[in-house]
Amino acid sequence: MTSELADIVARNIRLERSSRRWKQEQLAELLGWGPAVVSGLEAGTRRVNMEDLPALCRVFGISLSRLIDGADPEDLAALGLPLS
């Protein structure tokens, strides 16, 4: 995942969590992760792995395209996803 795309995913995780008024600890519990993992993802100090994406989409009830909303159109095309 490119740095820019990882930053967009981190921002979208933060937005999805805050729009639900969840604390990082609540999201971590729903995911079965430690709070430090969620904090690191949102801060950009820990990168989202491909294995993390399905869990995040399930917990938020969103599609992958929403989680990467705002990504560079070339990155989306390379992933075979519709342009946002």
- Per-residue model confidence (pLDDT) at position 81: 77
pTM: 0.88
Q: Tens digits of per-residue pLDDT, 62-73?
A: 999 899 999 988
53/48 Cα distance (integer angstroms): 7
Q: What angle do CA 11, 54, 83 make, to 5 degrees?
A: 60
Contact predicate 66/12, CB 8 Å: yes
Q: Tens digits of per-residue pLDDT, 12-36?
A: 999 999 999 999 999 999 999 999 9
Tokens read off for 34: 């430690």
CATH class of the domain at 3-78: mainly alpha
2 pLDDT higher than 70: no
33/35 Cα distance (integer angstroms): 6
